[in-house]
Chains A and B, each alone.
Chain A
Amino acid sequence: MMKKNYQAISFILLSCFLSGCVNYSRDAGVENLWRQPQTFNNGTTTSQQVLAALGPPSQVLAVGKQTLYYYLKEQVTREGLILLIYNETTEISVFDRAMFIFNEQGILVDYSYSKLADKPE
């Protein structure tokens, strides 16, 4: 009788731990070179220096008399755990961004990078 119970429990536990994993990631957009050590200074750095350091921006926009360079890298990761009694997948899309604003003379007025999450919300 005890042996049958052990067999039943073992079967249930084995069934629970029969599992599969899913994992993939993909990127889109420009390379996020702004995350590497860079030296940009408001009032002195020029648009040419930003272009030389980061390459062509994803988008360019005029804001009044100022010019805005917008860089975007999209990173998507998906992880999944597939068990017999429970499955879970989590997909996280991170939009890593950098933005530079230049005046009419092409001098950097202000710039900013997107804040990165330490862990998913």
Chain B
Amino acid sequence: MLRQRKLLRIISLFFLVLLTSCSMVKRQYGYVATVPAFSPKNYHDVLTQMGAPDSIAVLNDAFIFAYHSVTIDEPQLGLAIPSFDFFKFTLGSATATHNYHFYAFSLQGDTINLQQNHWQNTLGDSSSIGLIFVVEETVDLASFETKRAANVWGERLLLDINLIEISFEEIVLGKRLDLIGQDY
């Protein structure tokens, strides 16, 4: 009886130590409002229903509004060695849930195409070794953490005209496909 209790205590302590590193890392980039289904005749209808878009692209004879949000869930399971749990080994995987709305208009502003999509993709599995009390990221999300194009647009235009790939005139006059807004 005494031996069983002792064994139970050891097992309980072992699982308590194992549980010390369970983590959930959540991220949300952007927000797409949930709106009732609608059939926009022109871009004014889309702006009224959806608000300002995340991204705007201009082509020769059309322009596009894109709305995009990404939610990332990264559950982690940490493993620590009993009685040496100062370091932990963490296994993690991340899943991204995308919500994407796409509206294309003629240069006169009439709707010529629209699409809405909702999908998930895995961002990979990985592992890390870290100190206890530290929530380590196990999946590389660097592409989500870069500066937004809109916030460095003016800075890029200040580059030497001979060094930049695209001239200011080409961008402003819409002579090329250019995407502005968020670029994740």
Chain A interface (Cβ within 8 Å of chain B)?
8, 12, 15, 20, 22, 28-29, 56, 58-65, 68, 70, 72, 74, 80, 82, 84-95, 97-99, 110-117, 120-121
Contact = CB atoms under 8 A, between A and B. Distances in A.
Given A74-B148, A87-B24, A89-B23, 12 more contacts: A15-B16, A29-B150, A59-B180, A61-B56, A63-B56, A68-B56, A70-B150, A91-B25, A93-B30, A95-B31, A95-B148, A113-B52
Contacts of B43: 110
B150 A72 contact: yes
Dominant SS at the A interface?
Answer: strand
Contact of B28 (A20, A91, A97, A115): A91
B83 interface: no
B153 A59 contact: yes
Contact of A62 (B31, B33, B172): B172
A54 B178 CA distance: 24
Nearest to A72: B150
Nearest to A28: B151
Interface residues of B, number: 49
B107 interface: yes
A58 to B, nearest CB: 4
Contact of B31 (A87, A112, A121): A121
Contact of B151 (A68, A72, A115): A72
Contacts of A80: 135
Interface string B36-61: 00000001100110111110101000
Given A62-B174, A95-B182, A99-B53, A86 B23 contact: yes
Given A72-B181, A113-B51, A115-B33, A87 B56 contact: no
